[in-house]
Each structure stands twice: as structure tokens, then as C-alpha cells.
Chains A and B, each alone.
Chain A
Amino acid sequence: MTQPLDPQAAPDLPQSEPPRPGLRSRLRLHVHNLVHTHIDKSTWRIRLVAIGFACLFGVIGGRLVYFGFKPEPQTLRRAASEAVSRPRPQILDRNGEVLATDIKVMSVFAEPRRIIDKDEAVEMLTAVLPDVNAKELRERLGSRKGFVWIKRGIKPKEQEEVFRLGLPGVGFLPENKRVYPNGPLAAHVLGFTNVDNIGIAGMEKHIDGMGLNDLTMAGFRLDPADLKPVRLSLDLRVTHAVRDELIKGIERYKAKAGAAAILDVNTGEIIALASLPDYDPNNPSDALEPMHINRMNVGVYEMGSTFKAISIAMALEANKVTLNSRVDARDSLRYGKFTIHDFHAQHRILSVPEVFTYSSNVGTARMALMVGVEGHKAFLRKIGQLDRLRTELPESAEPLIPRRWGELNTITIAFGQGLNVAPLQAMMAVGALSNGGQLINPTFLKRSEEEARANAPQVVRPEVSEAMRYLMRLNAEKGSARTVDIRGYYVGGKTGTADKIIRGRYAKDRVFTTFMAIAPSDKPRYLFLTLMDEPQALPETHGYRTAAWNSGAVTGKIIERVANMLNLPPRLDLPTQPFPLLAKLGYGYVNTPFKGN
């Protein structure tokens, strides 16, 4: 076996022997070539290297471009900053009291991708946070998102317990939470926010509309310190006093609901607003109940006899009557098959002031007919009663106007039936009738008188405005508004009682009462409005449920209580020349007091 092997191996060896030195010398040559430059060979090698580098840089460059165009991967920080509720500016009242502010609360979040055992995590978390829905949480943790909330706004104790669980992928983030320290006070004006701190209603929504939302949507991170607080026109203490008196009044007269507001007639600022029943904006789900609407702004009502002020001002403005004119109120007014009666029928010819103080439907209707249907419509439009009143509050209501407006409509609207307006709208009109004739749009933000008057249209002449103040004052001294004649403040007022429409007919036993009061009547500053839905007659009110007995009484209490806070100094002596313009026009009698105050 070895013999044949040898000859076989022998020719192999000499064959393999000779290349070895050749290979070695070739290797040496290669190494030599690497070290020594040969002009003839280096060109292609340099090219090769250049191409290699070009490829390398090309790859790097391409990669950079690719990364540049690729959407940034959602990092945790980014996802969190998007999910965390944003800061909002504080809301202050006109004196700087806090109405709404942000506080920091902790919220628990999870990164589902980093949670190892999801079922165990759900079990442990729901044990510590019992109000978290286990099934829902399991679903959320099962999602492919990088960031999910577990619970927002937890208590420090809960935070500690969750921390003790030591779950990976579960963390905490500080968030802003809106709080309203005054509870239901001014709730209807403030509105509320959702869990992401975005305004849903009221001024909160208005603030977002003013650009805050756009900024945060565009990705700007707002520093809470940079947000300028929003100053409202409301006065917190006055609002409380108004609400408190209204609560007492509603309880006393067993009314279904009520509302009250104070308007600065010279600036259009709403100083106080309360609408009952109300809700706590810290618990915004209550706000959605239909009973909790803002009756000043969102409800529309027939304002009843308070509208007579507008009708008489219209007749005076159109020069159809003067304060000395007489109007026939001997009998009921017949129109077609309808008859208009007076509640306090006098059955005689009344002077214009008497029409107002006796609240004569017939007299007012006759005056409106003198102006005519078109004139009536035009005046109501001019004074803002036929269009939707827009304030800062996003909630508003369109007035209910009769579709076909004939003479009968003019007759009924003249004494406040057949036209439903928002009470705030009526306040704006009466404010214009008393402040010298300028229609100033109400506002919930602080404003100066110059600013308010700059763009306010003149809707009635100053002397008409003064005549209206005289009539209101007269009405408080010897007319239907006597309940509001608070000593020292020279108050004027007008009552309004409207029968409610139940199933298309006016119900005799259910009324909607309104009361407007102006103080002081000679140099008006504030207009008070109180309204009550279905107040009941009481033995103390001698079985009456008309406005003077309920809304009027409440208004009187409100004025007495807040006059000091509103910086209205009491005057025990009556002003000697309260109505100078009228005296100059020859109605000197308006300045003589009717009775001792």
C-alpha cells in the first residue's frame, strides 16, 4: 500500500515545490508595490479609493437626507407634552379676586411597550386606583401607542401607592387642573373646561377663542407666568350678595327659577350675574342639565310690562307724545276678536306718566299704534331687541320674533307680550334709555366709560332718556315699583308680570315676573334686573304674585345690600334738580318731589 503511494506522492512534491518561492516572491512584490509608488499603477488605485470614499460619503449623505425627511419618532417626552393639559390664564374679578386658576396635579401614565406583564399591571393598578375601569385600562395598555393615561389628577396618597408598586413603564407627570375656588358663584359667566384644560363654555371658551388655543395648537409651550390674567367686569362680593338674596327670594316665593344681574349703564359692564338653579363649574357635568342654563343670556322670555318703558320711550323719541300728552284708557282696547285689558284699570284718560305708573296696557298699546308697525319694528331693531345679542359669552339666544308682524303684534309687544328676548338684551335697552340714550353693548370684561361710549350709537335723545328716568323714579315713588324705593339711593323702577304660555295659551296662575331698577335716577350708574319664574302668592303679599311683590322685593334687598359695595353714597336729602333737561324744556314739575322720602 505504501509503494504505490510513494510514486504518486513523488511527482506531486516537485510540482508543489516550485510555486512556493514564486508565491512568496509575488507576495513580496505586492507588499513592495504597496509601499513603493509606481506612477503607471497609482492612477487607477487613486481612482478606486476616490470611488470608495465617494460611495461612503454618498451613503452618509443619503442617510442624512433620509433622516431629515423621516417624521420624528414619537418620543415619550413629546407624546407627554402633547397629552398634558395646558396652562390657562387666571380669571380675576374687577378687584383682582381669583375666580379661576390652574393648580398642579399629578397624573399617572403608562408606556404600554415597556410594560412586561400587562394583566398583572392592570390588576395592581386597579387595586390602588379603585375608580379606574379594569377592562378599559387593559384595552388601553394593549394598544400600540407609546403613551397612555391611566388616571388624571390623582391625590398625593394615591401617587405614593402607585409609586410603591414599582411597575416599569408607569410614571407620573404634573398637569394643570382648572379650579374655581368660589364654587357656583358666577358659574354661568366663567363657564368651564374639559380634562385637557380647554374651554368648553363661558369666558373660558372665549379666552381660548382669543388666540390661546391657536398658540398651543401650533406647538408653542406656554409658560404659565407669561399668561396675562383676564380681568372680568364682575365683582365677586356683589355677585355673592346678589346670588344670596336671589336664593332667599326664590325660597320665599317658591319660584321655580330666577336670575338677577347688575349692569353699569355707563360702561356696559356686567357687575354681577346670578342665575338659579346653578351648578359648580368644578363639576362640569352638572352644567349640561337644562334647568341650569343661564337665564340672563340663553333663555328668552316675554319681558312683560318692563317693555312698556321701551314703548313709551319710542313714542317720546318719535315726538308722538310728550310728558304732558293724554292717552285714552277709558275702556279696553278692541282689536278684531281680541280685547286688551288693563290690570289696574282706571277707566279714564291718563297722562303719559300715569300710563307708566298704572302700567296701562291700553295706554301703551295706543302709543305704539301712534308710531305704527314699521316705526315700532325699526325702533326695536335700533335698540337691539330683534337681533341676537352677542357678548363675550359664546352662549346666546336669538329673540323669538313673530313671523308676521301686524298691528296686533305691535299692540301686544308694546306691553311686553309676543316678543321673547334675552333678559340681558332688555337690560341693554333699558340701560340705553337711562344713560342718556347711548346703546352700549354689555360686556363681561373690564372696560372704561370712554371706551364704552366711543362706539355706542345714540338711540334716543338725551331728553327722552331723562324723561324715562323721571318716569322710573315716579313709578318708584308712587307707582307699582314702590317696593324698591330704598331710602337714600333715589331708585327708579319698573315692574313686569307676564303670564306664562302653557300649551299655547296664557296660563292665568303661572307668571314670569321681572323687575328693573335704576339707581340713582338723576345720574344713573347701575341697572338692576331680577326675574323669577313662577313665584307663588303668599299671605304676606296679600295673595298677589305680581312682580312688585317678589322680584321687586328682591331687587330692593339687593340694592340695599350692594349699594355700599358699588360705591354708591347714600343721600338722605333728595337732589334738588334731578332732571335739568326736562326743566329747561318746560316740564318744571318733574323736579318737585311728590312726597317726603
Chain B
Amino acid sequence: MIRYLNVLSVAALVAPAIFAYSIKYETMRYSAEIVKLQHSIERENDRIIMLRAEWAHLTRPGRIQALADRHLDMQSVNVDQIVKAADLPERAVRIDAIGRKLELLGLAEPTATPNDKRAGATTPTSGR
């Protein structure tokens, strides 16, 4: 009886020790990973800043102007070409000429679907 108790108590001692060790090693692994990730975040941030600076350098107005002059035949905006939003004409009503023709010919009505015999089953009006 006492022997079993001893074995049990030894087991009860060893198990938490193993558990504690495993947690400790896991923590160490995670903290190493955190440091690694932090370094890579830092590196990424540096790269982002670098790329932003490069982007700003490549899109500097002087360069864009030189490129536009060479490759595009655009002109400066004339005063007459600028219109206020309020001065735009109203949008015209959309006229569907083909649809109207079909309607006149009586072809616009929904047709019964041959395969579906249920009441009210129709094909879409558009298309045929």
C-alpha cells in the first residue's frame, strides 16, 4: 500500500516538473519567435519607408513632367474646358430602341418554358 503511495507521489512530483519544463521551453521558443517577428516587422517597416521614398522620388513632378512631354501629346487645360458640376446638362432618358421594336412586334411577352410545366414558369423577358 505504502509502496503504491510512494510511486504515486513520485509520479505526482515528476509530472508537474515535466509539465513545467515543457512550458518553459515552449515559452522560450515563443519568445524567440516574437523577437524574430519583431525583427522582420522592423525590416518590413524599413523597407516600406524605403519604397515610399523611392516612390516619391520616381513620381516627383519634374520627372513626371519630362516623361509626359516625351511620351504623351497632352496639352494644358484651357479655361474654356473647365465646367462647373452644376453646369452639366441633365442626363437624358435612356431609350431602348430595340426593346421598343420588339414590344411593337409583340415579341416582348414572356414565353412558356417547354420543360417546366408548372404554372407561372416563364423564361426571362430579355434574350429571345
Contacts and interface: CB of A to CB of B under 8 A. Distances in A.
Interface of A: 97-98, 101-104, 174, 179, 181-183, 185, 224-225, 236-237, 240-241, 244, 486-488, 560-561, 564, 569-570, 572
A564 B82 contact: yes
B123 interface: no
Given A225-B45, A564-B82, A570-B82, A101 B53 contact: yes
12 contacts: A98-B53, A104-B50, A179-B53, A181-B57, A181-B60, A182-B61, A185-B60, A240-B61, A240-B65, A561-B76, A569-B82, A570-B82
B46 A104 contact: yes
Given A101-B52, A103-B49, A488 B57 contact: no
Which applies to chain B's interface (DSSP): helix, strand, loop or mixed?
Answer: helix
A241 B49 contact: no
B98 interface: no
B90 interface: no
B101 to A, nearest CB: 43
A179 B49 CA distance: 11
B80 interface: yes
Given A101-B49, A104-B46, A237 B84 contact: no
B61 A241 contact: yes
Q: 4 tightest CB-CB pairs across the interface, nearest first?
A: A240-B61, A181-B56, A181-B57, A98-B56
B79 interface: yes
B10 interface: no
Contacts of A174: 46
Given A185-B61, A240-B65, A572 B79 contact: yes
Interface in B53-111: 53-54, 56-57, 60-62, 65, 76-77, 79-80, 82, 84
Interface in B21-68: 45-46, 49-50, 52-54, 56-57, 60-62, 65
A225 B50 CA distance: 14
A87 to B, nearest CB: 10
Q: Is the interface of A mostly helix, strand, loop or mixed?
A: mixed
Interface of B: 45-46, 49-50, 52-54, 56-57, 60-62, 65, 76-77, 79-80, 82, 84
Contacts of A236: 61
Contacts of A244: 62, 65
B82 A183 contact: no
Given A225-B45, A240-B60, 19 more contacts: A97-B56, A101-B49, A103-B46, A103-B50, A103-B53, A104-B46, A104-B50, A174-B46, A181-B53, A182-B56, A182-B61, A236-B61, A240-B62, A241-B61, A487-B79, A488-B79, A560-B76, A564-B77, A569-B82
Given A185-B62, A225-B45, A237-B61, A572 B80 contact: yes
Contacts of B65: 240, 244
A101 B56 contact: yes
A572 B54 CA distance: 41
Nearest to B85: A569
Nearest to A241: B61
A324 to B, nearest CB: 34
Contacts of A569: 82, 84
